[in-house]
A and B are shown apart, each in its own frame.
Chain A
Amino acid sequence: MRYDLTLRIVYDYGGPAPTARHVMRIMPRQIAEEQIVEDVRLRVDPEPGEIAHRADFWGNPVTEMGFHAPVTRLEMQVRAQLERLTRPELLDLSPPLPRLGAEIAARRALSPEQPHHFLSPSPRVAPDMLITEFARQCLDPGMTVLAAVRAVGRALHGHMTFDAKATDVNTPPGAAFAARHGVCQDFTHVMIAGLRSVGIPAGYVSGFLRTDPPPGRKRLAGADAMHAWLRAWCGAEIGWIEYDPTNDVMVGSDHIVVAVGRDYSDVAPIKGTVRTAGRQASRHSVDLVPLGA
């Protein structure tokens, strides 16, 4: 499926902000045999004093910019054309859960796709007793890893309700889980905590959702803004799979990947400091439209 993507982010600083510096992860990621970015353009207004593009440890495209003059309002726009290739139907060739540990241990490397990065607590996902208990109860003896991921996901989707107002960007997964409400970030963090607690390496994916569903399917939650889902390592044979716990679907051609990491802190769309006492306001909008539609 080919898409036309428009992302628009606006910051209002409520007054001239003296020093601003930002690290951004908002450009779609190039992924061999999965996602082909044909053309991508970033426009920033006002023009930054310095700007640089690079990849981070995980291979995500990163843009870093600094302003040397005070900024009152900042607008960024990403426009891209890209193609998301359809993944073939996934056969469950993952090992039974008890065998996963040995498969992980057999991998002796530190490269970013290795499962070792995704088992330990990470900055935004600490172990949580209630989530651990919840995840354990989803498992049946003899389950494969992939089946376990789906079981935890389905149970979680039933347990939590999507609510754009219940949490904020800093809500810990344990709190969102206890309140049974949250947005895609909360669903994703809670499920990552759950999978890690039963020994399944799990990480965070940020990206975009197709804005309008294909005819006959219902619109997915989270399509108006940047979205988040997770990836889980299901053994050496099938490797990483992606799953969207907010919508209880395996990720297919409706999802566009921007960045992957251990949790939100690795992929936050915009990090940055502004030396200002004023109130900041931000808004952002996403349009992901199939080409020729």
Chain B
Amino acid sequence: MDQNAQAGHALASLIGDYRVPEGVADEMFGPDGHVRPVWRPFLERFAHLSAEDVSRRFARGEQYLRDAGVFFRQSTGDGPAERDWPLSHVPMLLEEAEWLKIADGVAQRAEVLESVLADLYGAGWLVREGVLPPELVAGNPAWLRPMVGLRPPSGHYLHFVAFELGRAPDGSWFVLGDRTEAPSGAGFALENRVATMRAFSDPFEHGTIHRLAGFFRAFRSALQRSAETLDGRMAILTPGLGTETYFEHAYIARYLGLMLLEGEDLTVVGGRVMVRTVAGLKPISVLWRRLDSAFADPLELDDRSALGTPGLVRALREGNVCMANALGAGLVQSRAFLAFLPRMAEYLTGERLKLPNLATWWCGQEREREYVAANLGRMMVGDALSQDLPFEADGAQLIAGRFQDGRDADPAAWVRAQKGALVGQEAVSLSTTPVYEDGALQARPVMLRVFAARTASGWKVMPGGYARIGGSADATALALRRGGRVADVWVVSDRDVAPETMHDAGAPFQRAADSLLPSRAADNLMWLGRYVERAETMVRLLRAYHLRLAETGREDDPRVARLAAHLRALGVPREAAEPGAVTAALEAAIRSASKVRDRFSVDGWVALQTLKDEVADHMRHVQPGDEAARALGQFLRGTAGFAGLVHDNMYRFVGWRFLSIGRALERAQNMVSTLSDFAAEDAPDGAFDIAIEVGDSVMTHRRRYQIDSSRTSVIDLLALDHRNPRSVRFQVARIHALAAELPGAEVSGTLSDVMRAAMRIDTRLATAEPTDMDAAALRSLARDLTDLGERITAAYLV
């Protein structure tokens, strides 16, 4: 075979079984039945990859997603569940010219939605002139009355919007839903891009694919300008860890260098929004809101919300904070609005919508209601004011004339009785796009989410998007509900495009303003440090226990018994081979780390996860005694790795200090507790050696004292020695030094409360003799350390 024929053969085996369902458009094949030109170079290169090569490439993408901690979170009956991010590695390709048309339509639509919001929160002409029925506003929970008559300080309601698009059988694009409340997906689109590029790096030519960074840079600049005008910082407002898109919030915050805040991080003073930081209250002037409007302020909106900030609406009323998007912006994503948007567009702007939307009939109007009732076979019927897409979970109650809950009733009668509570929407077919299955490409229905951001020069549309792909060949949008996947979207030009990064190449070098550390983040970092150290202490004690058990074979040996009692006091149960308590401490560490994902490197995250997995793996099947001791030793090398990462690689920002303080405080406290039990006057023979072993100081002790361990030598080395990183004094000196660098440590010659407390303990240990440190002195030291921790919390963390 010559080369051409070979290439043709490879391509044939890749796409030979690709079947486009009857009567729908396809992304890869054009209406003429030929592969669209934009796909050709991609497919030809793809076809040359061996099956192993493809799986190796896809694995690279998967690895990236796992390392970055991208999960698909889904609320199931049993609470939230996580599964692997369902990336379909084959991107969806769009020709630049086609994308430009979409972008043009999207920008127009965004502007129309802005005008609709301005009218419905302002003069209300749309209702007065009969363009929009009043009950769709007055009876709509998304219309927030406290926002009526309140012009946003930026002059705009919408700053960042998304649209769900589908391609109709005739090849044209249409909108399935407008997302204006707090649209998600842009961060996932970025992650999909990175993972997909890992898979299709060399030999794929990327010079013609539009990059995404420029879009984000433009949006950040726009936010920055608003922030400066209003004299404060910008931040992302998230509902927190409980939400399925939290990962994305953290990712975007890190990517754009924005603070990630929750409602409780904020307080309103004198009509200004302030963030509680370790350096006190600081003004916030721009909030990119990812929290639902209704939850934003329990004083003026949903009073049951525990996620919001009391007084936030007041700050808006005072014009001191720009909210992207404005509270109440979700009004226009109510399903019934689709029925009226074409007329509203013409009324408000005199223009026809360039990008039409899903045909929608509101059943509050008699003619429309009758039309829906008569055409139920090709309708999705559901809640008129729902904010969700009709084919998402809880979407439509009635599809193609059948009740989704299986009830046996007359659908037409139901539609006539429910009237204005319902809308009917045309059951549409989507286009198909390839996914890679069993060594070849298969056609699956696809829906495209595109994003638009308001910038100084108007709406900018992300050249790419977030594609959602159905789990089966069924081309109705319903397939997206079941086992769907996501994919990257490449907008491909016919010439090279300018490379873009997050950094503005033309701008002069400038160091960004010091970032602020919210108190809650500092608190989580401190606890992260504490939990990792706690796990380590438990493991050291467990190892000592198993070594003694292996040596004596007796649980009633006095040393074994004392270790078991000490472990129990730490919450480690008698069946000490069980790693449960250690795993629990590490899980707590991971929980703390998840709340500060935006401040935590991917490497640190991976190290933590690995640590936890290793404990679970190593410990599951080992027998008590020697084997367990060996497994625990392995784990200790793992924590050393994490500590090294934190110590060597983390930038010394304020957060690092809290992480380190947490660790030092925990270590000091644990050592005091170890000494109280194993360096006690009544300790059994061999207990001093346990203390030295748990304090990881066997070699040092041998070198320094040249004698058998005594109470004096143990206390000297583990409590008072300023050169031993395991000693109480070393850790206290460290806390003292770290505290000196915290905000407000010394104000015009006066030391902070925390500094004074740290200094007192430090001085006492520096001047103590080993004989001073009797049981009472250790108890008093333990109390002082607890008190120091409480002072740090009171000064910086609440």
A positions within 8 Å CB-CB of B: 18-19, 21-23, 50, 52, 56-58, 64, 66, 68, 107-110, 114, 116-117, 119-120, 123, 265, 268, 271-273
Contacts and interface: CB of A to CB of B under 8 A. Distances in A.
Nearest to A264: B303
A94 to B, nearest CB: 21
B130 interface: yes
Contacts of A107: 134
A272 B299 contact: yes
Contacts of B798: 18
Contact of A116 (B139, B268, B311): B139
Contacts of B120: 110
12 contacts: A21-B299, A23-B299, A50-B269, A50-B270, A108-B128, A110-B137, A114-B138, A116-B134, A116-B137, A119-B135, A120-B138, A271-B298
A68 B138 contact: no
Given A64-B314, A68-B269, A110 B124 contact: yes
Contacts of B129: 108
Given A19-B267, A21-B310, 14 more contacts: A18-B798, A21-B268, A23-B299, A57-B148, A58-B145, A68-B269, A107-B134, A108-B130, A108-B134, A109-B124, A116-B137, A271-B298, A272-B299, A273-B299
Given A108-B127, A116-B139, A123 B302 contact: yes
B41 interface: no
A52 B318 CA distance: 11
B134 A21 contact: no
Contacts of B303: 123, 265, 268, 271
B517 to A, nearest CB: 20
Contacts of A117: 138-139
Given A57-B145, A66-B268, A114 B134 contact: yes
Contact of B146 (A22, A56, A108, A123): A56
Contacts of A271: 298-299, 303
A57 B146 contact: yes
A173 B263 CA distance: 30
Interface string B299-315: 11011000000110010
A57 to B, nearest CB: 4
Given A66-B268, A272-B299, A109 B146 contact: no
A16 B106 CA distance: 53
A119 B139 contact: yes
Contacts of B134: 107-110, 114, 116
A268 B127 CA distance: 29
Contacts of A19: 267
- A-B pairs, top 9 by smallest CB distance, nearest first, are A120-B139, A116-B138, A57-B145, A116-B134, A21-B310, A117-B138, A23-B299, A110-B124, A273-B310
Contacts of B269: 50, 66, 68
Contacts of B145: 56-58
B280 to A, nearest CB: 13
Given A57-B145, A66-B268, A119-B135, A109 B311 contact: no
Interface in B569-614: none
A203 to B, nearest CB: 12
Q: Looking at A52, A109, A120, A268, which has the most chain B CB atoms within 10 Å of its CB?
A: A120
Contacts of B310: 21, 272-273
Nearest to A112: B145
A252 B127 CA distance: 34
B688 to A, nearest CB: 43
Contacts of A56: 145-146
A57 B313 CA distance: 13
A268 B299 CA distance: 10
B16 to A, nearest CB: 56
Contacts of B314: 52, 64
Contacts of B268: 21, 66
Contacts of A52: 314
Given A64-B314, A66-B269, A109 B298 contact: no
B128 A109 contact: yes
Contacts of A50: 269-271
B135 A116 contact: yes
A220 to B, nearest CB: 29
A175 B104 CA distance: 53
Nearest to A265: B303
Interface in B225-278: 267-271
A93 B148 CA distance: 33
A1 to B, nearest CB: 32
Contacts of A114: 134, 138
Contact of A66 (B137, B138, B139, B311): B311
B364 to A, nearest CB: 9
B312 to A, nearest CB: 10
Contacts of B302: 123
B733 to A, nearest CB: 33
Contacts of B130: 108
A272 B303 CA distance: 9
A278 to B, nearest CB: 15
Q: Looking at B130, B134, B798, which has the most chain A CB atoms within 10 Å of its CB?
A: B134
Interface string B762-788: 000000000000000000000000000
A274 to B, nearest CB: 10
A110 B146 contact: no
A273 B303 CA distance: 10
A164 B145 CA distance: 32
B277 to A, nearest CB: 16
Given A66-B269, A271-B299, A273-B299, A110 B127 contact: yes
A64 B302 CA distance: 17
Nearest to A57: B145
Nearest to B145: A57
Nearest to B123: A110
A241 B64 CA distance: 66
Interface in B127-153: 127-130, 134-135, 137-140, 145-146, 148
Interface string B145-175: 1101000000000000000000000000000
A109 B128 CA distance: 5
Contact of A273 (B135, B139, B271, B298): B298
Contacts of A265: 303
A117 B798 CA distance: 41
Contacts of A116: 134-135, 137-139
A136 to B, nearest CB: 14
A120 B135 contact: yes
A114 B267 CA distance: 35
Nearest to A115: B138
A173 B749 CA distance: 62
Contacts of A123: 302-303
A22 B310 CA distance: 8
A21 B311 contact: yes
A59 to B, nearest CB: 11
A101 to B, nearest CB: 10
A87 B268 CA distance: 44
B304 to A, nearest CB: 8
A192 to B, nearest CB: 14
Contacts of A18: 798
Interface in B370-408: none
Interface string B18-61: 00000000000000000000000000000000000000000000
A114 B127 CA distance: 12
Q: Looking at A52, A58, A273, which has the most chain B CB atoms within 10 Å of its CB?
A: A273
Contacts of B127: 108-110
Contacts of A66: 268-269, 311
A56 B298 CA distance: 15
A18 B794 CA distance: 12
A22 to B, nearest CB: 8
B794 to A, nearest CB: 11
A132 B94 CA distance: 54
A18 B310 CA distance: 14
Contacts of B311: 21, 64, 66
A116 B138 CA distance: 6
A24 to B, nearest CB: 10
